[in-house]
Amino acid sequence: MRRPLSLTLAATAVAATSLAATSLVATAIPGVPVAAATPDTVRWGPCSEKAASSRLEKAASPRLECATLEVPLDYRDPDGRQIEIAISRLASGKPSQRRGVLLTSPGGPGITGLGYPAVLAASGLPRKVLDSYDVIGFDPRGVGRSTPVTCDLTPEQQRRGNLPPYAHTAADVAREAGNARTIAEQCATSRTARMLPHTTTANTARDMDRIRAALGEPKLSYLGASYGTYLGAVYTTMFPGRGDRIVLDSNLGPGGYDVTATRLFARGLEDRFPDFAAFVAAHPEYGLGTTPGQVTAKFFDLAKRLEAKPVQGYDGNLFRGITFDALYSDANMPQLAKTWQALDTDRPTPPNPPLVNMENFMSARFSVICGDNRWPETVREYQRNVAVDRLRHPMLGGSSAGIGPCAFWPDKRVEPPVRIGDRGPSNVLMVQNDRDPGTPLAGARKLRRAFGKRATMVTADQGGHGVYPFGPNTCANDAVTTFLTTGQRPARDLACAAEPSE
């Protein structure tokens, strides 16, 4: 997920996997031991204001407790250099009903999760779920109050964002290669460069198992959104016998944030855009068109005009980016329409608060996505990808298929990506919107096939990024609540019909 969900996420017997089977999968990566099983003493205390990065988090954060945990930087050397992982807890309100811990992740990579339990509670996580679990949050390695990484990104590099500028020609791709190479070199020479080979999803999954052990829990349940679905998929693949009830919301494909997932952003925008076009067409006061076709034409008109002559700091790339980000939630549509209207008429645009700590967010994101997978390494391949996606998905394809720092990442990977498969207990519930811009349904279906018998998937006929508990579809939400509180999943994959919005 490119920003937190609050902003820019037959009965199943949870079979006890034998220790032998757990060891077989968890140690499938040669030379990397499993997490320590001896609990540490976690000393909970008040969370600082820094743990709350949004107004929603601050409203609920007084109940949140925080602590830190030391984990190995390199799990091949468990007694070597240690780094800190910041964790948080929203304790069960009814200890007599508590069944365990529910570890949570809002996605990212690069996003802080320390305040996420408070966000979930303030956003409608049902009381019976809050009573059943201590809800646990954490800042992944490299992020926020855990030991952070940096690429020493300049303000200009931060303003450019995570995706490359829209490339209309092969020459545009070649020009952007220089910027991408510069960022990769900055990451490789920064004061935290030693963390690069170890800031990966697999190591974050190992950190999760250290959190489980430190809390003295034989198993953990999990609720992860967006990139958090890949993190959860990797965890339950590496440690299949240590997961209890695993919920994956708004799913990446089985390769995580690889080149395929990044190119899928363009597909996701075009899956989602008709919802916005219909909204705008139903509100002629915006002056952006009275039919979905006219609104779509306005998108391309504004993008072209702003590329030729930026307005109030908005160029074509920023226009595409804010449109993509805003469509993560229906609630953002009026603001987005007003921004379009202002740009179309050169009037003052509505305020758009910046993301907090953008340098760390982007640096950690690059570290994970470039470290997890091998990316194409020649400019020519990105030129080919752009040429294809610009025609196939013209709204965003010239950007999402473009070249980034991963093309020039230092070749210091210490292990291959974790392969998601169907070995392990059938204890995964996937939940997915049909029209998700950030993690399109096409990727979720690939993950569902990879899991095989391990998973059941619930889809909701609605748009946006994030289903539970933020979305209005009661069919999908009830399925997740039932699974978390009783262990019961739908007997087979379930398609939830559209429900009228309030």
- Do 254 and 265 share a domain, yes or no? no
Q: Which of 358, 387, 412 is the last residue of a domain?
A: 412
pLDDT at 3: 40
- 13: in domain: no
pLDDT at 478: 98
pLDDT at 25: 31
Integer CA distances (angstroms), 305 to 220, 287, 302, 316, 471, in order: 52, 17, 5, 8, 35
**Distance (Å, whole) CA 415 – CA 29:** 7
Q: What is the CATH number of the domain that holds 23?
A: 3.40.50.1820
Is 465 a known active-site residue?
yes
Domain that holds residue 232: 19-141+201-258+417-496
- Do 235 and 127 share a domain, yes or no? yes
User: What is the longest distance spanned by two Cα atoms in the chain?
Assistant: 67
Is 152 a known active-site residue?
no
Tens of pLDDT, residue by residue over 69-84, are: 999 999 999 999 999 9
**Distance (Å, whole) CA 152 – CA 157:** 9
DSSP-derived secondary structure letter, 196 = G
- Do 459 and 388 share a domain, yes or no? no
- 60: in domain: yes
Nearest one of 435, 408, 386 to 263, comparing CA atoms: 386
- Do 290 and 220 share a domain, yes or no? no
Q: Which amino acid is at 430?
A: M
- Do 282 and 349 share a domain, yes or no? yes
Q: Which residue has the higher pLDDT, 155 or 51?
A: 155
- Across the chain, mean pLDDT equals 89
Which of 6, 226, 329, 400 does the annotation list as catalytic? 226
Tens of pLDDT, residue by residue over 185-209, are: 999 999 999 999 999 999 999 999 9
Percent of the chain with pLDDT over 70: 89
- 196: in domain: no
Nearest one of 332, 472, 400, 462 to 7, comparing CA atoms: 332
- Do 39 and 182 share a domain, yes or no? no
pLDDT at 41: 74
Q: Rounded mean pLDDT of 323-351?
A: 95
Integer CA distances (angstroms), 112 to 2, 173, 342, 361, 485, in order: 12, 32, 32, 8, 26
**Distance (Å, whole) CA 64 – CA 52:** 10
- 6: in domain: no
Is 226 a known active-site residue?
yes
Tens of pLDDT, residue by residue over 197-241, are: 999 999 999 999 999 999 999 999 999 999 999 999 999 999 999
- pLDDT at residue 6 greater than cutoff 90: no
- 502: in domain: no
Burial class (CB in 10 A: 0-12, 13-18, 19+), 240: buried
Nearest one of 453, 449, 455, 480 to 467, comparing CA atoms: 480
pLDDT at 7: 31
- Do 219 and 209 share a domain, yes or no? yes
- 72: in domain: yes
pLDDT at 352: 75
The CB density around residue 120, as the number of other CB atoms within 10 Å, is 27
Tens of pLDDT, residue by residue over 432-467, are: 999 999 999 999 999 999 999 999 999 999 999 999
0.85 exceeded by the pTM? yes
- Do 95 and 52 share a domain, yes or no? yes
Number of structural domains in the chain: 2
- Do 313 and 176 share a domain, yes or no? yes
The tokens of 485 are what? 């509180």
Give the helix, strand, coil percentages of the chain, each rounded to 5: 45, 15, 40
- Do 218 and 304 share a domain, yes or no? no
**Distance (Å, whole) CA 294 – CA 313:** 25
- 12: in domain: no
Q: Rounded mean pLDDT of 21-47?
A: 52
- Do 161 and 32 share a domain, yes or no? no
**Distance (Å, whole) CA 121 – CA 127:** 8
Q: Which residue has the higher pLDDT, 23 or 107?
A: 107
Q: Which of 412, 434, 463 is the last residue of a domain?
A: 412
pLDDT at 49: 62
- 9: in domain: no
Q: Which residue has the higher pLDDT, 402 or 9?
A: 402
pLDDT at 139: 98
Nearest one of 485, 494, 471 to 221, comparing CA atoms: 485
pLDDT at 240: 96
**Distance (Å, whole) CA 260 – CA 344:** 33
- Do 103 and 232 share a domain, yes or no? yes
